[in-house]
Amino acid sequence: MTSTAATAYQSALDRPDWDFVEFYVGNAKQAAHFYRTAFGFDQIAYAGPETGLRDRVSYVLEQNRLRFVITSPLQPDHEIARHVNLHGDGVRDVALAVGDAGAAFALAVERGARPVRVPQTLHDEFGSAVLASVATYGDTVHTFVERNAYRGPFLPGFIAQRTASNAQQHPALHHIDHCVGNVGWNEMDTWAEYYARVFNFTQLVSFDDKDISTEYTALKSKVMSDARHAVKFPINEPARGLRKSQIEEYLDFYRGPGVQHLALHTSDIVATIRALRANGVEFLEAPDAYYEQLSERVGKIDEALSVLRELRILVDRDDRGYMLQLFTKPLQDRPTLFFEIIQRKGSLSFGKGNFKALFVAIEQEQARRGTL
Ligand code: FE2
């Protein structure tokens, strides 16, 4: 290897970006309809029996820079069927765009990542793309996507199939802000260290159980980020409380570690939450008391307090600015994956000041399910 090639190799993971998130679900046709109708995604591409795939079907959904792939198995004895059987509907792949997927894969494996798919070059009439995957927590994987030489609708093997969103009102969801993983008891440091070692990420913040606890439930969290703060992976583990931690509930229902939530960024959270609520999306509801203390806690903000209270939007502040956020209820029957809708106004925070208010709301939900 020449020294220039060696340098390029060593920096193969330096500037990752989000590419797509693939969900494995029981009924992709219906799930894709839900994300189009409720969350305002357009369908842009498709792969299935009509395109020569015998074992699976995938719908590709897009909204601004967000790209979701919704996949179901067509056969019972299949890796995807086993995934759905064990975990329920959930995130299988958090794919990252890189300049050289082969080098990114080789470097990640050299640094200790478990290989899942060796680099594979796929071609069709729109060009070629290279994919390679490594394992992360649980059954979750990161696929490296190199698509500089590809001009098609999504990736080779998918046909363009455009169905505009049929949402009644259109939210303005733009890109992934962060993707949170739940891991087992005392595993947070192992996985934070994995992102530091394999991806060269650094720790942005950490929270311990004193920050994130209520009378009943507790968790610990470390936020790992790339140097540009483009890709952020918070890692949660449960902590001891009087009752079962919400992370433990997730681990029980998902049968192990996995993606807990995707935070979707919007530049207009008020209009977006209004649209999502009109489309039937359900959110966690902060108690009234939260809004009585809000002005005192976060100071002056641009949004009217009455509107935030009406839409149940949460606010938090750090030394750089403030952020607004709201969490959906689980997106499937098992209380596992959910979305966060987030707007940042300078703040790099993850809503530490909201955890208490939020946990009270989550506990009300847990109590209704009888798992508190
Ligand atoms: Fe979050």
Predicted pLDDT of residue 6: 81
Q: How far is the CA of 220 from the centre of ligand 1 (A)?
A: 13
Q: How far is the CA of 264 from the centre of ligand 1 (A)?
A: 9
- Whether the model clears a pTM of 0.85, i.e. scores above it, the answer is yes
Going by C-alpha positions, the residue among 95, 93, 100 that lies closest to residue 149 is 100
Q: How far is the CA of 316 from the centre of ligand 1 (A)?
A: 12
Superfamily for the 3-163 domain: 2,3-Dihydroxybiphenyl 1,2-Dioxygenase, domain 1 (3.10.180.10)
Q: How far is the CA of 121 from the centre of ligand 1 (A)?
A: 34
Strand residue runs (E) in 99-150: 115-124, 127-135, 141-146
Give the domain ranges of the chain: 3-163, 173-369
pLDDT (tens digit, 0 to 9) for every residue of the chain, 372 residues total?
A: 667 788 888 889 989 999 999 999 999 999 999 999 999 999 999 999 999 999 999 999 999 999 999 999 999 999 999 999 999 999 999 999 999 999 999 999 999 999 999 999 999 999 999 999 999 999 999 999 999 999 999 999 999 999 999 999 999 999 999 999 999 999 999 999 999 999 999 998 766 666 656 655 678 889 999 999 999 999 999 988 767 888 999 999 999 999 999 999 999 999 999 999 999 999 988 888 788 888 888 899 999 999 999 999 999 988 899 999 999 999 999 999 999 999 999 998 888 778 766 666 667 777 888 887
User: Order of strands across the sheet with 90-97?
Assistant: 115-124, 127-135, 141-146, 90-97, 17-24, 66-73, 56-63, 42-47, 159-163
Do 3-163 and 173-369 fold alike per CATH? yes
Domain 173-369: CATH architecture, name and number where available: Roll (3.10)
